[in-house]
Amino acid sequence: MTQDPTTPTAHLLLRHGLPGFIGTSCIAMGALGVGWLPGTTDLLTNPIVDALRGTTSGSLIARSLVLIGVAVLLQAWLLIGSDLYHRNAWPIRQLQWVLLMWVVPLVIAPPLFSRDVYSYYAQGRLFETGADPTTTGVGSLPGWFDIGADPMWTESPTPYGPSFLMIERTISSVAHPNAYLAGILFRLASLVGVALMAIYIPKLAKAYGIEGSTALWIGVLNPLVIMHFVSGAHNDAIMVGLIVLALYLGTCQQCLWSAAIVGFAATVKPIGLLALPFIGLQFAGIGANWWAKIKAWLLTGLASAIAIICVYLIVGSGYGVITAAFGTPGSVLTWLSPTTALGQIVGGISTFSGFTVDAYGVIDIMHAIGTLLSLVVIIWLIVTSDRRTPLRGVALAFGVLVLLGPVVHPWYVLWALPLFAASGLNLRERRITVLLTIVLIVHGMVEASTASDNVWDWSDLIAFIIALAVVGIISFASPRERQLILNAGAQESVNA
């Protein structure tokens, strides 16, 4: 009897599903000790949680569980990639079962790698009071600190659009006064985005002639997705999932619907609008002249605008989102941003030499240059669209925006990574993707603690050395993993 490809085999579950399940289970247990918990949750009175969080040995055990869990998850992911290296394809549904196994242990675990879910909850509570979170910070909300909101953002307006404000208000209304329950519900909302990615990334890849199982492995099973879209529960997952769905519908000659969905994605995070010009290119078709492209852009722009206006009329708030979207994220300095890192280095040298009072002026100049360059490159990608597919174009556009942006968080990479995966990666690109994933995993392992909030201390240095050693052993000790990382694939993929 022929095995149904939609049914997971015991071999698949044991070889790929179980190791990742063990890894995420370790992460979930470790999160009880070093994950983010609101000060009002009853979990803090649990003896086990208290021991993990209140003692040095407990914190060490919890952090070790997270490090081990992430390392095992990475090993499981690399093992799938190694198997794909040798067989080039795998039944999509079976890989989706593996993803489900990896996700389940984290569903009700405390958030790690970020505590944004509690800021979402605070913004929802603020919205319930009648205030507009896109113009008012959560610092005006009584008890904001006890519900776990990050002090870094208390005076900053939210950069999220009206549809996500509605999600925030709904969840905060249902969960109040339980901030931890709200965090779980926000994770379920982000899992909707992950589910859209898991379903439509393989279909989108197939529409462009790319092997779907490889796209699913790189773009959705990626440990960064598990760490930041599942454990961290970032709302970016919803935006990315909607964009993937929109791009897939664009391949089915439903570009007006896809443009409307992009508009809806932009009401989650305005940056989602970046996909709209490429939806228009899908609508115009291959080899279209400029008049056809302009006509397609006008029609898709109208469809997207109607969707956005409808959401604003329904929600009745969120009008300050554009100002907040440009101001709030860039108010922090992150070394992951090349323009920020270069600005800090040059600014530091300039300040030391006496040419400037501090580095901030130089950093602002670097940010302006990076923003200008990203706009120029994105316009060039649109103007020269005949050289590549719309899918590849939108992946490059998001990639450039992240690379040259004033602030880069690890989950920003996931704006582009699933789209690159669906568009197809050649040997060099696949190798770079695997190595970038490993680097950002190390970064996440170091930051996976309430102790690693804003201050670098000796425990962070020790964690970095341990994380680097563990990931190095996992990545290069086995010949199969070395072959995957150094060769990055059995065949040269054709870019879609």
Cα-Cα end-to-end distance for the chain? 36
**How confident is the model at residue 454, as a pLDDT?**
44
Q: Which residues contact 156 (CB under 8 A, 6 or more apart)?
A: 137, 324, 327, 328, 331
**How confident is the model at residue 68, as a pLDDT?**
87
Spell out the SS3 assignment of the chain: CCCCCCCCCHHHHHHHHHHHHHHHHHHHHHHHHHCCCCCCCHHHHCHHHHHHHHCHHHHHHHHHHHHHHHHHHHHHHHHHHHHHHHHCCCCHHHHHHHHHHHHHHHCCCCCCCCCHHHHHHHHHHHHHCCCCCCCCCHHHCCCCCCCCCCHHHCCCCCCCCHHHHHHHHHHHHHHCCCHHHHHHHHHHHHHHHHHHHHHHHHHHHHHCCCCHHHHHHHHCCCHHHHHHHHHCCCCHHHHHHHHHHHHHHHHCCCHHHHHHHHHHHHCCCHHHHHHHHHHHHHHHCCCCCHHHHHHHHHHHHHHHHHHHHHHHHHHCCCCCHHHHHHHCHHHCCCCCCHHHHHHHHHHHHHHHHCCCCCCHHHHHHHHHHHHHHHHHHHHHHHHCHHHCCHHHHHHHHHHHHHHHCCCCCHHHHHHCHHHHHHHCCCHHHHHHHHHHHHHHHHHHHHHCCCCCCCCCCHHHHHHHHHHHHHHHHHHHCCHHHHHHHHHCCCCCCCCC
Asked whether the beta carbons of 122 and 147 are under 8 A apart, the reply is yes
**How confident is the model at residue 475, as a pLDDT?**
63
Q: From first to last of its 496 residues, what are the pLDDT tens digits of the chain?
A: 445 555 556 666 777 889 899 999 999 999 998 888 888 888 888 888 888 888 888 888 888 888 889 988 998 898 888 888 777 667 888 899 999 999 999 999 999 988 889 999 999 888 888 888 888 877 778 887 878 887 777 777 888 989 999 999 999 999 888 999 999 999 999 999 999 999 999 999 999 999 899 999 999 999 999 999 999 999 999 999 999 999 999 888 888 899 999 999 999 999 999 999 999 998 888 878 889 889 999 999 999 999 999 998 888 776 777 766 665 555 566 778 888 888 888 877 877 776 766 677 888 888 889 999 999 999 999 998 888 899 999 999 999 999 998 888 899 999 999 999 999 888 888 888 988 998 898 888 777 654 444 444 555 566 667 766 776 776 666 666 666 666 654 444 445 6
**How confident is the model at residue 237, as a pLDDT?**
96
**How confident is the model at residue 455, as a pLDDT?**
44
- Indicate the pTM of the whole model: 0.89
